[in-house]
């Protein structure tokens, strides 16, 4: 069994990490290079993932200084060769983020390009500011978007828009991203993290086990349904939270009916 990960005891350099009860807030923190994703940031994201795999909580990811992430660190990327590509340095950690037990929220401001966009695509939710610029300019640099965009983006926005981004280098602004549901809300920069927390609050009001299992079922391959749905429901049907929450629902309904009856009698 892996040793427990204590985020509070870790010394992060490329990230700023804050634990807030039922959630963890991670800020991509390399402002001198517009939060470009380097090996240090990847390593630190793996540490965060390990902690959230052991102790599932909602994850909010944002960037500092009005930028989400301008992409992968080009200085490092230029020196990578075939064997580096085969390791899947960025794709491995983004896949791990996508598979975290509880939802991941990307709060996107400013540039969200290349690897930064692929990190956002790996999240379950994306919200942004009016200054969002999101896309994948990799082909202009002689490479492809190999950390998830080549297949995740089509699932998110459909093939025609995905090809505009991946093959023609189109960068979407906030309104364009909202129109294709790549982001689901636009908020002023000062309200962005607050909006992310509001969404996290809404998620946190659900039953954590039901959310966790629903996320797993949602991402299961098509051929696994409906069997996996039935098995997952079987687990939830035996959970104490199901009995407690349904009883609370029935009790509230009974109280409303009683109150409505008392009001009618009073008339």
Of 172, 204, 236, the position where a domain reaches its end is 204
1 is a domain residue: no
The model's pLDDT over 107-144, given as tens digits with 9 standing for 90+, comes to 999 999 999 999 999 999 999 999 999 999 999 988 89
The model's pLDDT over 40-79, given as tens digits with 9 standing for 90+, comes to 999 999 999 999 999 999 999 999 999 999 987 667 776 7
2 is a domain residue: no
Of 204, 225, 245, the position where a domain reaches its end is 204
**What pLDDT score does 88 carry?**
67
Distance separating alpha carbons of residues 186 and 86, to the nearest angstrom: 37
Which residue segment(s) compose the domain that 45 sits in? Answer: 7-204
Same domain flag for 25 and 88: yes
Q: What's the whole-number average pLDDT of the chain?
A: 94
Same domain flag for 129 and 255: no
For residues 180, 182, 187, 190, the Cα torsion angle rounded to the nearest 10 degrees is -150
Same domain flag for 193 and 220: no
Same domain flag for 151 and 89: yes
Question: Per the structure block, which two tokens stand in for 253?
Answer: 């309904």
CA contacts within 13 A on the Cβ side of 2: 11
* Percent of the chain whose pLDDT exceeds 70: 94
Of 174, 204, 234, the position where a domain reaches its end is 204
Same domain flag for 195 and 95: yes
pTM of the predicted model, to two decimals?
0.93
Same domain flag for 154 and 225: no
**Number of domains present in the structure of the chain:** 2
38, 80 in Cβ contact below 8 A?
A: no
């Amino acid at each position: 069994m892996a040793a427990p990960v204590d985020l509070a005891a870790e010394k992060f350099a490329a990230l700023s990490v804050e634990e807030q009860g039922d959630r963890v807030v991670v800020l991509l923190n390399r402002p001198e290079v517009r939060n470009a994703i380097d090996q240090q940031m990847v390593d630190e994201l793996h540490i965060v993932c390990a902690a959230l795999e052991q102790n599932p909580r909602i994850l909010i990811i944002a960037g500092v200084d009005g930028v989400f992430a301008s992409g992968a660190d080009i200085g490092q990327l230029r020196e990578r060769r075939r064997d580096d590509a085969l390791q899947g340095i960025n794709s491995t950690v983004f896949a791990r983020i996508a598979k975290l037990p509880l939802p991941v929220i990307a709060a996107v401001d400013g540039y969200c390009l290349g690897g930064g966009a692929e990190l956002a695509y790996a999240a379950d939710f994306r919200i942004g500011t009016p200054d969002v610029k999101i896309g994948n300019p990799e082909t202009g640099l002689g490479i492809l978007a190999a950390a998830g965009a080549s297949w995740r983006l089509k699932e998110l926005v459909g093939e025609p828009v995905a090809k505009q981004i991946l093959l023609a280098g189109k960068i979407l602004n906030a309104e364009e991203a909202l129109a294709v549901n790549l982001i689901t809300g636009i908020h002023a920069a000062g309200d962005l993290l607050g909006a992310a927390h509001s969404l996290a609050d809404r998620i946190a009001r659900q039953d954590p086990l039901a959310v966790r299992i629903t996320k797993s079922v949602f991402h299961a391959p098509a051929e696994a349904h409906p069997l996996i749905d039935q098995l997952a429901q079987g687990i939830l049907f035996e959970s104490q939270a199901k009995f407690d929450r349904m009883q609370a629902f029935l009790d509230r309904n009974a109280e409303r009916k009683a109150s409505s009856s008392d009001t009618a009698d009073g008339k």
